[in-house]
């Protein structure tokens, strides 16, 4: 997939589309024979016929949109080789037009077969289409992916789900790092691998899970001279969080659980998390290395770290972030979340994985197949409610939704169905089910206010699969 317009990178605001002239200036073939100042002034003069001219000093952070509207323009649709379905197409296009969704990928699974996959809108403004194969960050949809990778290690005999986490982390040099005399909560020693996978560790949701968020700058408070890694944020989180409950006692969603789980995977796989994901775990499900992988930290949309099939990201939120790069943090410059504002590698297992909709669809198809990649015991781990549910009044395994091993699980007509949603300010996605189908959507855009993109796409697909004839 291309990187969009070959001359410049677009940024948008209320006027919708504005040139970022600084991106043009970075092209070697454009700079030849000009000083930086001469080229900059020449570019402004050349653009003077355009209805809107934006000086570089006035440009908003890349990826930040005040709004986006399709108007009467046609929304690009990128087909796969799978059969078309006009009803699904029309439902997605209507939602994109109503809410201003920039781009998304959709896949649908019936039984063990992927029966639909398409891309809609733009992977990069102003004209790069969002292909079905585009892999975008999709927030917490990383969690079921990470859990399935851990279950692969369980099947290989390398990971006991009832093993305590702290000794495993110590094997790779990760120990709790308290700050300013904070005492480590002794209960963390009782956290087991399954507690991470079920969100029953007792860790609160505000536990450190990425390199920088408002109020928690891991590099600064741990006195690091590098961008905080997943290992750094785990050490910081375990060293400074106080558990809300005894491990295993109750469900409390916390992103840190799955960042820790990714480090557990590294320790037992004896290789980096992304390498295990793309080279070992996902191929067992028939998923290729470009369909699911850890998104790398990106300083700008044209970063060399951006995946070859990864789109640019757009958010309508006005929130700004300082850089996650320690040497830039003190400069006072602010950024949109996707670029310099969100360290995906530090939050990998919880929300930093790029997924193509068909890749996630293949995972679901495999789980529904007669010969899944996981053992019967591993599948049983997913389908068995964690113990704390048995103490909840009114809980019924046959009818109630429960969270287990990275998925929301619900039984209907004797079959298990899987769901999860995910979002950050610049992306989102959803796994859901209805009418005998599993559906997936991922997007490189998010709304500033509810409904967020995962809700928008999930709601549309839930209704559409119930109405559309799918074979």
Per-residue model confidence as pLDDT tens digits over 162-211: 999 999 999 999 999 999 889 999 999 999 999 999 999 999 999 999 99
Per-residue model confidence as pLDDT tens digits over 303-338: 999 999 999 999 998 888 888 999 887 667 788 899
Residue 335 confidence (pLDDT): 86
Tokens of residue 307, six digits: 């995946």
Do 77-141+288-467 and 144-271 show the same overall fold?
yes
Q: Say yes or no to pLDDT of 286 above 50.
A: yes
Tell me which of 355 and 58 has the higher pLDDT. 355
Structural domain spans, the chain: 9-58, 77-141+288-467, 144-271
- Please give the CATH number for the structural domain made up of 77-141+288-467: 3.40.710.10
Q: Say yes or no to pLDDT of 29 above 90.
A: no
Q: Say yes or no to pLDDT of 43 above 60.
A: no
Determine which of 4-13, 346-355, 446-455 has the lowest per-residue pLDDT on average: 4-13
Residue 92 confidence (pLDDT): 97
**Residue % of the chain over a pLDDT of 90:** 76
Residue 471 confidence (pLDDT): 65
Question: pTM (2 decimals)?
Answer: 0.88
Per-residue model confidence as pLDDT tens digits over 372-427: 999 999 999 999 999 999 999 999 988 999 999 999 999 998 899 999 999 999 99
Q: Show the 3-state SS of the chain.
A: CCCCCCCCEEECCCCCCEEEHHHHHCCHHHHCCCCHHHHHHHHHHHCCCCCCCCCHHHCCCCCECCCCCCCCCCCCEEECCCCCCHHHHHHHHHHHHHHCCCEEEEEEEECCEEEEEEEEEEEECCCEECCCCCEEECHHHHHHHHHHHHHHHHHCCCCCCCCEHHHHHHCCCCCCCCCCCCCCCHHHHHCEHHHHHHCCCCCCCCCCCCCEECCEEHHHHCCCCCCCCHHHHHHHHHHHCCCCCCCCCCCCCCCHHHHHHHHHHHHHHCCCHHHHHHHHHHHHHCCCCCCEEECCCCCCCCCCCCCCCCCCCEECCCCCECCCCHHHHCCCCCECCCCCCCCCCCCHHHHCEEEEHHHHHHHHHHHCCCCCCCCHHHHHHHHCCCHHHHHCCCCCCCCCCEEECCEEEEEECCEEEEEEEEEECCEEEEEEEECCEEEEEEECEECCCCCCHHHHHHHHHHHHHHHCCCC
Determine which of 14-18, 155-159, 301-305, 309-313 has the lowest per-residue pLDDT on average: 14-18
Tell me which of 329 and 9 has the higher pLDDT. 329
Per-residue model confidence as pLDDT tens digits over 258-275: 999 999 999 999 999 999
Cα–Cα dist 363/342, whole Å = 27
Tell me which of 441 and 320 has the higher pLDDT. 441
CA distances from 426 to 145, 175, 433 (A): 20, 32, 24
Residue 330 confidence (pLDDT): 65
pLDDT band at residue 59 under the 50/70/90 scheme: low
- Give the pLDDT mean for 54-75: 76
Tell me which of 101 and 16 has the higher pLDDT. 101
Say which CATH topology domain 144-271 has: Beta-lactamase (3.40.710)
- CB-CB contact of 428 with 453 (8 Å): yes
- Give the pLDDT mean for 54-62: 53
**Residue % of the chain over a pLDDT of 70:** 86
CB atoms within 10 A of CB 252: 16
- Give the pLDDT mean for 440-460: 97
Residue 262 confidence (pLDDT): 98
Residue 177 confidence (pLDDT): 97
pLDDT band at residue 12 under the 50/70/90 scheme: very low
Tell me which of 40 and 353 has the higher pLDDT. 353
- Give the pLDDT mean for 436-445: 97
Residue 13 confidence (pLDDT): 33
């Amino acid at each position: 997939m291309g990187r969009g317009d070959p001359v410049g990178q677009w940024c948008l605001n209320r006027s919708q589309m504005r040139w970022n002239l600084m991106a043009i200036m970075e092209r070697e073939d454009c700079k030849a024979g000009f000083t930086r100042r001469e080229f900059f002034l020449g570019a402004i003069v050349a653009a003077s016929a355009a209805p809107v001219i934006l000086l570089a000093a006035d440009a908003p952070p890349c990826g930040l949109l005040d709004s986006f509207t399709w108007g009467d323009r046609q929304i690009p649709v990128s087909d796969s080789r799978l059969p078309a379905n006009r009803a699904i197409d029309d439902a997605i296009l209507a939602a994109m037009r109503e809410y201003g969704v920039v781009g998304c990928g959709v896949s649908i699974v019936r039984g063990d077969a992927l029966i639909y996959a398409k891309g809609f809108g733009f992977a990069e403004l102003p004209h790069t289409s969002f292909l079905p194969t585009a892999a975008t960050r999709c927030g917490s949809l990383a969690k079921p992916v990470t859990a399935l990778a851990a279950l692969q290690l369980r099947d290989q005999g390398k990971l006991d789900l009832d093993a305590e986490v702290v000794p495993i982390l110590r094997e790779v040099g990760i120990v709790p790092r308290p700050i300013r005399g904070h005492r480590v909560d002794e209960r963390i020693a009782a956290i087991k691998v399954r507690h991470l996978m079920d969100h029953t560790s007792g860790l609160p949701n505000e536990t450190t899970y990425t390199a920088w968020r408002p109020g928690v700058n891991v590099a600064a408070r741990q006195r690091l001279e590098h961008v905080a890694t997943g290992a750094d944020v785990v050490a910081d989180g375990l060293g400074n969080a106080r558990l809300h409950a005894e491990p295993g006692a109750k469900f409390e969603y916390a992103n840190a659980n799955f960042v820790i789980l990714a480090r557990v995977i590294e320790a037992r796989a004896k290789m980096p998390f992304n390498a295990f994901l793309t080279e070992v775990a996902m191929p067992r499900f028939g998923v290729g290395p470009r369909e699911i992988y850890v998104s790398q930290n990106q300083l700008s949309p044209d970063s060399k770290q951006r995946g070859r099939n990864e789109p640019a990201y757009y958010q309508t939120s006005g929130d700004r972030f300082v850089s996650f790069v320690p040497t830039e943090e003190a400069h006072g410059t602010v950024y949109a979340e996707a670029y310099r504002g969100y360290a995906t590698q530090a939050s990998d297992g919880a929300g930093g994985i790029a997924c193509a909709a068909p890749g996630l669809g293949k995972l679901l198809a495999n789980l529904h197949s007669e010969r899944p990649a996981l053992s019967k015991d591993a599948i049983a781990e997913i389908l068995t409610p964690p113990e704390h549910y048995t103490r909840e009044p009114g809980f019924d395994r046959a009818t109630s939704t429960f969270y287990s091993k990275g998925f929301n699980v619900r039984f209907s007509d004797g079959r298990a169905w899987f769901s999860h949603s995910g979002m950050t300010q610049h992306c989102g996605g959803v796994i859901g089910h209805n009418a005998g189908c599993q559906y997936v959507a991922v997007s490189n855009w998010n709304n500033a206010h509810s409904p967020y993109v995962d809700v928008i796409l999930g709601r549309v697909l839930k209704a559409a699969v119930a109405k559309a004839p799918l074979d």
